[in-house]
Every structure is written in C-alpha cells, then in structure tokens.
Amino acid sequence: MDVYLLTIYATLEQEEAIRELFHRMNWDFKKKEDDGGIRGRITDTDIYAVPYKFISSNVPVGNVYIKRTSIAQLPSCECNPSAENPCSFESSCYNRLMWYECNSATCPSGKKCQNQNFQKKEYPPQEPFQTVNRGLGLRTLVDIKRGQFVNEYVGEIIDNELCLERISQAQQNKCTNFYMLALDKYRVIDARFKGNLSRFINHSCDPNLVTQKWHVNGEDRIGLFALKDIQAGSELTFNYNFDCLGNEKIPCKCRAVDCSGYLGDQPKPLRVSTAKKQSSAPFAAGQNASMQKNTVSYDEEEEGQEEAIDLSSSGKSQQTQPTDPWEVPEILVNITKSALKTLSNLRSNNNKTPAQTVGERVHEREVTQSAENQNEEKNDISLMGSSQNADPSADERCQKTIVHVTRSFEKTFVVTRERERDTTSVTEIESPETTGVLLTEPSQVNSTPVPGSSKLSDSSLATDSPMKPGKSPQQVSALESEILQWFAKLHTPTLEAASQVGISEELSNLIESHRSQAKSTPEALLEKFKTLANTTGNVLVQSHPFQPVVQFTALSTEEDAHPYDTPESCIGAMETCGETQPDETDLYKGIAPSYFSDSSSDSSNNSKSASLNEENQENIPQPLSPTVKVKFTKTKAVKGKASNQINRKRKTSTPIKCSPARKITRKSLDKSVSSPKHSVPLSRKQITTGGDEKGKKRKIQLAVRKVPKISSSKLMASRKSKMEAGKKLKTNILSSDKDSKENTSSETLVQALMNYSQSENKVTTTRYREGDYACSLCGLRFKTEKRYQKHKQLDKCLYECPYCYKVYNVSNYTNYKAHLRVHENNKPFKCDQCPKAFNWEADLKNHKIIHTGLRPYVCKVCLKCFTNPHYMKTHILNMHTGRPKAYLCDICGTGFKLKGNLLDHVRTVHATFRAFPCKQCGKAFKSKSHLIKHVSRHQPVTFPCGQCNKVFVEEKFLEKHKKKHKKAN
Ligand SMILES: C[S@@+](CC[C@H](N)C(=O)[O-])C[C@H]1O[C@@H](n2cnc3c(N)ncnc32)[C@H](O)[C@@H]1O
C-alpha cells in the first residue's frame, strides 16, 4: 500500500481532517481502523499522524503538464572549462546569470560545472525544529554564505483546479498551514502531502532566503537562495508574500523589527456567497466570510476598479464547454474579468520599474532604440548600458536589445544583444546601490563582450526556446483586438443575458468603471492601451526566465477564466500573432508553455523591495548617454510612488487563498500547547507505548531536542579503531604462535587464541582485568571463582560454524544457532501473507510492516519514513551525517559512502564474473539483489491485477501497476 504515515506535527485539529488526508492518500482509513492498524485509531489526543511523503523532486499530479526540452535546445554557457570553478557563483557564467542551470551534457565544463545546484541537490545540512509559535520551522546546521543555494521548493505540481479543491478542503478542515507556491500561471507546487524539508520554512518579514525561479533542463524549478550570511543554527525563512483572503488577517509571528504584523500586509476584505446567493445578489459587498465558507470571493481594488472573484465558478465550471460560449453569461463575466485583468496586467507590466531586491532578477526590457525616438522622448529616463559597438552610426542603425538586467548578489549585469550582428554581451556593472545611480556613471561600466552564441541567436529567442522574448507588438495587437471583441460582445446581448441570472449589476459596474476610464467605448479603451504601448516604446515584459519572485498562492478564478489558460486558445493565439507554435516536446499533455508574463510571480512583493522601488524611482537620473535606452515616460517616473503602490497592491493581491484565519484565543493557545499537534515525529516505540499526557509531552520534548547529530568523523574513527584493534589482536595471536602463522584456518586460530590467552600478552587486552577469572579456551571472564568453575564444567565453551569456521563462545550460543541458519537456508519464520521467509523473527516482524502499508520508522531529521529500522539507519548515515564518500572505486574513481555500495558497484559495473547463481535454473547474477529478484520469479505465487489481465511476480510491481489504473481513471 503506497501510503506513508508519519508522525508529524499535526496542524489539523479534527479527526475529520485526518480522514480527509488519508482519503487523499488513497488509504482506506476505516479498514486500517478495523484491522487495528498500528495507528489507525485516532483519538482526541492522538492526532499526530498525518501522511506526508518525503520526495526529493517535484511530482506532477493529474493533468498537470511538464515542460520538456531536448538537450539540443538547452543554452550552453561560454565558461572556460579549465577555470578552477567553472560556472560557479563567483563566475559570470552566462547561464547562471540568466537563472538557467547548465547541463553536464552541453556545458563546456561538463561534470566540473558548478551551476547544477538543482540537479545535484547540493543543499547545506538543515533540520526541522519546533518553533515557539509558528509550528515547525527549518534551521541550518552549518553556516551559509550569502547567495548560496539552500534548497529547492519541492512538492506535488498541481493545476489551478486541484489547487482550489485542496484549498477548499483545507478550509473545511480548518487547516491553517499552507504549503502552496505558484510555479507559474497554470501550476502550483503543493508540498502538503509530498515535499522535502523546504516545506517547513516559515515566513518572515525580514527573511534570510529568497525564492528564485530557475530553468533546469527546460522546466521551471523554485530554488531558495541565501539573502545574507546565515549562521549555523539560525532559522531559515523567506517572504511568502502571502495574500490573505480571509476576513481575518493571519497574524505574523516572525518577530522581525519591521514586521508588518500580518502574513502579507495587504489583507483583503473577504466576501462570501453561496451559489444561491450568487443568483440573487451576486458579488454583493459586505458579506462576512464566516457566513459561508464554501464559496469565497474577495474584492480586489485595482486602480479604482472593483473586481469580484468567485472561486466556485472556477475550474470545474469551465470544464464543461458550452456550444457557444458567448451565450453563457457566467462565461462572459469571466471573460470580461479576464479581459480586465489582461489589460491591467499589460499596464502594470509596462509600468514596471526595475526591481531591486538583491538576488532577484532585476528586470527585463526589450528596447528598440533609434535615433529619432531618442530625441523624441525627452522625458525618458535613460538606462546607460555598454555598447560593444564603437561606431556610433552603426549604433544608430543597429537595433539593440537589452535582454535583461540582473543583479546577482554582489554584481549587476546587463545582458545586451545586437540583432543584426547576432552578438551578445554581458556587461558587469560595479556594485551599484540603485540602478539609477549606477547608470549615471558610464565610466564605471566595464563592458565584457561575449561572442555571439548560436544557442542565443535571434531564432532561438523568437521561438519556444528557453530564451523566448516577451510579446511582440503583433502579439500585443492580437491580444488587444481580442479584448476589443470581448467588449463588443459584452455590449449587446450579454448584458441582457447576464441580467437574467442576476449578475447585471456587477457586470455593468465592471464595464462602466472601465468605460469611464477608457472614454466610454471599448475602442477608446483599446486606443488607450495602444497609446500606452507606444509611449513605452517596445518595452514589454517577457515571460520566463524573468519572473523573479514566487509566492505562496492559490490561483484565482479570474486567471483561470482567461482564455489563454487553455492550451488550445494559447496555441491559437500564438498562431494569430505569428509566434511559432511550441514544439510538441514542450507540450506535455497538450498545454502550451506560459504565454503571458505571470502576474502572480512577476514581482517581488515584500515591503522592502517596494520601498526600494520607490527609492529607485526617486533616484532615476536624467540620461547621460543615448547608447542604450530603457524608456520610461516622465509621467511614470513622477508617478513612481503611486504606481508602485498600485504595483504593491497588485502584487499583494495576487492570488493567494488561504482559509480564513482562525482567531487565536488564550484558550485555543493553551489547548494547542497541551495537545500534541505540534509534536515532532515519534519513534514507533513512543507511538505505541501509552503513558499519560505528561509523559507523552516530555517524550515529545525530548524527541525535539534529541535530533540525532551523528558526527561522521567520530563514527568513522570508532569503526576504524575497532577494526584496527581486531587486526592487532589477530596478529598478536598469530605472532605468539609463529608455527601456525602460515596456516590461518579457524582451527589454528582457535588454538592460537587459546595459547594467546594463556600467554602473558593477555593483560594487554581489555577483556582481561586483574583479579578476573578468565577461561583460557573461550576467553570469557568471570568476577567470581564460583562462576568460573561452573563454566569450566561445560563440555564445550567454543562453537565453530562448520560452514565458515566462525567461532562463537558459549555466551553467544544463540547467535551461533542463528548464524547456522544463514548457511542452512531453513528460514523458519514464514510470512503468512506472502511467500517470503526469514531466518530471524525480527526480520519477519519488520517485513510484516510492509503488508500494513505503514512506514513507522521515521527519520527525525527529514521525516522520511521507512518500513525497516535498518533502512532508516542507513538513510541517516548517508544523508544526514555529512559522511564523506570515503569508499573509492579503484577502477573508475567513483566514491561511495558505504562499503556495501562500493562492493555492489564493483560487482555490477566492473566485475565480469557472476558470483550469485540461481539454484533452481543455474542462471548467475552479478549481485545478490539481482538474484533475489530473479528467484522471486520462480515463486509459484503471482499477483494478478484485478482490472486487467496482467500478472506480476512481485507485489510491488502490482502496486506500481495499479497506480497507472488510478491515474488513468
Ligand atoms: C509552509 S508552512 C511552514 C511550516 C509550518 N510552520 C509547519 O508547521 O508545517 C506555512 C504555514 O506556517 C505558518 N507560518 C509560517 N510563518 C509564519 C509566521 N511568520 N507567522 C505565523 N504563521 C506562520 C502558517 O500557518 C503558514 O500557513
């Protein structure tokens, strides 16, 4: 059963919530309860079992699409492979600057490349811990440097629809912890059910991490990078940019000096309506969230317009496609809203000022520069960049493009491309405080021309390659004409139709507000946007890779309703506007890559960056040189503050949905402390042993403190010293009996041992202390003579294995017996549920856990669950001890943390002989695991699938297969 139970900090308060989660994990909760499963029974005080699976990479769920790119399409950098650390943080690796990870197949530095953080999963050691007031948090175990890659935000990739579903489920279950982070406009990473350690990172208004969206082998991934130097033991935090949709703000408990007080400083008043209410008084303002919880809508004030978003009409309702969408009022409303949103996005994007948060992609502009418009636009604020072109006349002729300006912690770079010559240059600008100040100082600009890369050529930029630029003017006009059509349609039959379902008031309000803004007609509105586009030149915001900040979010209906959200329309739109249709490799499950720049993730929302925005606006200097310009109209510069406020509003109002915040009272606080919901994972022993509440709490506290910290060096040292002691003893024994040195059979060894114990050397070993009575034969020592005499009366005090000559003394007789089973292959402990048999009872017990579907052995560091304690131990040693890969393969040099792994490697990869023959058919295998797999095929028991004709030799294969059926359904 593919369910992973974990005892973790339940944030859920009701049994129902647990059931819901179990249900989500396809675990038959009831069944387990009846079976008396280990933790199937949930009582009031036993609510800490929440299924959570540790995954190290994102897992797509349902119909969510995955971007695929062929290796040929991946951009390669120009770094020098012979450099000490090619593509490292210190280098100006072209890919790194663009937030692209190199691929070892295409990077000139190959495996030496240092720009593969995501792929190599190189995280500094970190651990979850219990915070005082914010549930669990994550802290670092080592010092982290500014700019260092800390972790990847990993979880299930879900689409908007499922996201909404999960949110509403969580709301119903009064779950207050959210783990959703927008990946792009269509997809969300939800780490609630599956994730890695990053899911425990809390919010702070003064964070030490920042999220960055990177392009890794064609797919977007979210990384967390250090904003500052972080000391070992400090909590890791980032700014959620959390947008509250509840009628109560979620209090922020980050304790930062400039804490905004709430998660997200722009909480929105919540309005709630049910489907019924919607028909009678839709979008009616002033309703309280507490009245209805199923359907949530909120007011979004944007530039004086009011938009109401109804989650209930999202997702599913759009699935049922009407024959003529123009006839369905609800769709029309959604389309209108989408149109409004698109237009406002267009505006906001064009209004964008350079973002300033350190470590963020600063901004991106495509600038067309010509001699005429330099003079025309006197009020423009110029961005001084470098030009590789020394000839000014050529400069004027050439169309230059600033691909983007990026500030990568210590450095700021301007990446420019010259289309005609197909050259690209990266210009590093010395430590500026603000882009404005920096750009007034042309002398400070060091130009580093980079030869044109075919991978970054125009053609690649114009198509669906990762270097895809923003919307072209044609695309914008195609968009505009579509918007115009929507408005035209909305004017006539729609209002009437809408009024029939009682939405006319809201609709007309929406249209009216836009109408008044756009001089009454949609055409005028469109005209306005055209003018806007013209006045900002061709400054258009690009889609990825330039979407810096990612937010904890749930997506809003209005975005869902956007026609471009559907793959068909997206592709259609691309065709209309002349953009090359994406390659099929990019369209997994038929959905096109992001077309619009993502408003939900296009900007930094924290108050700091907003204030920096303001600062920069004020600092924007007059142009000094016309070489390369990014145009802003003066009006925008003057309006900087206001527009930033609007931007900030928009940013904070970007789609985030969380359940209405629960009011925290003294009582609930006390309850939360006394209840075990903030407990840390307990060992199975702790779970199964009963005990009073107090004892339980104590155990929990202990478990919190006793996060295992195993020093690898200590471990290695102790092992080494033991091995050396053993070797020494052996040599001592043999050297004391020089005649038998050649013959090292166990018989000789026993004899030598006997001689040795009788010799004077014996006092040197710890086994023999003065005053003890030692048996000269087996080496056992006794405190009293009586016991020694009793021992001497035994017929035999040493037992030698007849198969391998291993010797046991009498005190280890049971071990000797057990050891014999290894050779006799009796396997007396048989599983009653499957054909497996074991030599030891403990092994059978451990095995039986597999049939319960539980994984009760929990790694206290990363919460990964295991069926077997040995697996857990190995995992801890491998993953959390920073253990070096000390076992090196002599043949290929690969390092391994465990000796067993090295042996396996040598056997399977390099060895030519097959040391593990099958006794039944004679086929031989290189490794034991391969043999075991093979032997299971001889088993008469098979596992047929109930849904199709397939039959499997192992249960796990059947389980895997069943998942396919589930997915297909
Ligand atoms: C991604 S989870 C973080 C881990 C979470 N603390 C846990 O115990 O699993 C996000 C949730 O943690 C809580 N949280 C995080 N930061 C917070 C803060 N500064 N103040 C209050 N609650 C916070 C909120 O309930 C939020 O929904």
Whether residue 672 has its Cβ less than 6 Å from ligand 1: no
Mean pLDDT of 485-494: 46
The pLDDT value recorded for residue 893 is: 78
Query: How many angstroms does the Cα of residue 254 sit away from the middle of ligand 1?
Result: 10
Mean pLDDT of 789-810: 82
Mean pLDDT of 931-948: 76
Q: Please say if the pLDDT value at position 947 is more than 80.
A: yes
Q: Please say if the pLDDT value at position 198 is more than 50.
A: yes
The pLDDT value recorded for residue 791 is: 86
- For all residues of the chain together, what is the average pLDDT? 56
The pLDDT value recorded for residue 224 is: 92
Please indicate whether residue 475 or residue 388 has the higher confidence score (pLDDT): 475
Range with the poorest average pLDDT among 127-136, 679-688, 864-873: 679-688
pLDDT bin (cut points 50, 70, 90) of residue 693 is very low
Ligand 1 atom closest to the Cα of residue 200 is 4
The pLDDT value recorded for residue 236 is: 93
The pLDDT value recorded for residue 808 is: 84
Please indicate whether residue 330 or residue 442 has the higher confidence score (pLDDT): 330
Which of 329-333, 462-466, 843-847 shows the highest mean pLDDT?
843-847
Nearest-CA residue for ligand 1 atom 7 is 136
Beta strand residue intervals within 856-909, DSSP E: 857-858, 865-866, 887-888, 895-896
Cα separations in angstroms, 756 against 181, 763, 816: 68, 10, 23
The count of other CB atoms within 10 Å of the CB of residue 230 is 23
Q: Please say if the pLDDT value at position 794 is more than 50.
A: yes
Whether residue 52 has its Cβ less than 6 Å from ligand 1: no
Mean pLDDT of 649-677: 35
Whether residue 153 has its Cβ less than 6 Å from ligand 1: no
Whether residue 199 has its Cβ less than 6 Å from ligand 1: yes
Please indicate whether residue 820 or residue 563 has the higher confidence score (pLDDT): 820
Mean pLDDT of 391-419: 40
Ligand 1 atom closest to the Cα of residue 253 is 20
Whether residue 135 has its Cβ less than 6 Å from ligand 1: yes
Q: State the distance between the two ends of the chain, measured CA to CA, in whole angstroms.
A: 18
In angstroms, the CA 501 to CA 67 distance is 40
The pLDDT value recorded for residue 481 is: 57
Give the DSSP letter string of 727-781: HHHHHHHHHHTGGGGS---HHHHHHHHHHHHHSGGGGGSTT--TT-EE-TTT--E
Ligand 1 atom closest to the Cα of residue 203 is 16
Q: Please say if the pLDDT value at position 197 is more than 50.
A: yes
Helix (H, G, I), strand (E, B) or coil at 586: helix
The pLDDT value recorded for residue 85 is: 85
Whether residue 134 has its Cβ less than 6 Å from ligand 1: yes
Q: Please say if the pLDDT value at position 104 is more than 50.
A: yes
Sheet of 305-308, strands arranged across: 270-272, 296-302, 305-308
Q: How buried is residue 304: exposed, middle or buried, by Cβ count under 10 Å (0-12/13-18/19+)?
A: exposed
pLDDT tens track for 623-643: 223 222 323 223 333 333 333
Range with the poorest average pLDDT among 220-229, 561-570, 888-897: 561-570
Mean pLDDT of 668-678: 35
% of the chain residues with pLDDT over 90: 2
Ligand 1 atom closest to the Cα of residue 179 is 1
The pLDDT value recorded for residue 720 is: 64
Mean pLDDT of 243-261: 69
Testing ligand 1's pocket by substitution, the residue of 202, 244, 253 carrying the most ligand atoms inside 8 A of its CB is: 202
The pLDDT value recorded for residue 901 is: 81
Mean pLDDT of 317-338: 44
Q: Please say if the pLDDT value at position 267 is more than 50.
A: no
Q: Please say if the pLDDT value at position 619 is more than 70.
A: no
Contacts of 883 (CB under 8 A, 6+ apart): 712, 715, 716, 877, 897
Q: Are 71 and 105 in contact (CB under 8 A)?
A: yes
The pLDDT value recorded for residue 558 is: 35
Q: Please say if the pLDDT value at position 522 is more than 70.
A: no
Range with the poorest average pLDDT among 349-358, 687-696, 837-846: 349-358
Which of 138-152, 288-302, 339-353, 418-432 shows the highest mean pLDDT?
138-152
Could you tell me if residue 956 is left (phi over 0), alpha (psi between -120 and 50 degrees) or otherwise beta? alpha
Whether residue 595 has its Cβ less than 6 Å from ligand 1: no
Query: How many angstroms does the Cα of residue 909 sit away from the middle of ligand 1?
Result: 46
Query: How many angstroms does the Cα of residue 759 sit away from the middle of ligand 1?
Result: 67
The pLDDT value recorded for residue 456 is: 31
Ligand 1 atom closest to the Cα of residue 178 is 27
Whether residue 200 has its Cβ less than 6 Å from ligand 1: yes
Please indicate whether residue 784 or residue 152 has the higher confidence score (pLDDT): 152
Supply 483's token pair: 């918007």
Query: How many angstroms does the Cα of residue 199 sit away from the middle of ligand 1?
Result: 9
Ligand 1 atom closest to the Cα of residue 252 is 20
pLDDT bin (cut points 50, 70, 90) of residue 716 is low
Nearest-CA residue for ligand 1 atom 24 is 177
Q: Please say if the pLDDT value at position 499 is more than 60.
A: no
Whether residue 179 has its Cβ less than 6 Å from ligand 1: yes
In angstroms, the CA 68 to CA 124 distance is 29
Helical H runs in 853-954? Answer: 869-880, 899-905, 928-938
Q: Please say if the pLDDT value at position 105 is more than 70.
A: yes
Which of 223-227, 265-269, 483-487, 908-912 shows the highest mean pLDDT?
223-227
Q: Tokens 């006197």: give the residue.
A: 378
Whether residue 238 has its Cβ less than 6 Å from ligand 1: no
Testing ligand 1's pocket by substitution, the residue of 134, 189, 662 carrying the most ligand atoms inside 8 A of its CB is: 134
Residue 415's H or E segment, with its range, is strand 411-418
Helix (H, G, I), strand (E, B) or coil at 488: helix
Q: Please say if the pLDDT value at position 526 is more than 60.
A: no
Nearest-CA residue for ligand 1 atom 12 is 177
- Which candidate, 766, 767, 759, places its Cα nearest to that of 738? 759
Whether residue 9 has its Cβ less than 6 Å from ligand 1: yes
The pLDDT value recorded for residue 939 is: 64
Q: Please say if the pLDDT value at position 681 is more than 50.
A: no
Q: Please say if the pLDDT value at position 97 is more than 60.
A: yes
Cα separations in angstroms, 916 against 662, 900, 913, 937: 61, 16, 9, 16
The pLDDT value recorded for residue 480 is: 54
In angstroms, the CA 380 to CA 223 distance is 35
Range with the poorest average pLDDT among 114-128, 511-525, 817-831: 511-525
The pLDDT value recorded for residue 287 is: 29
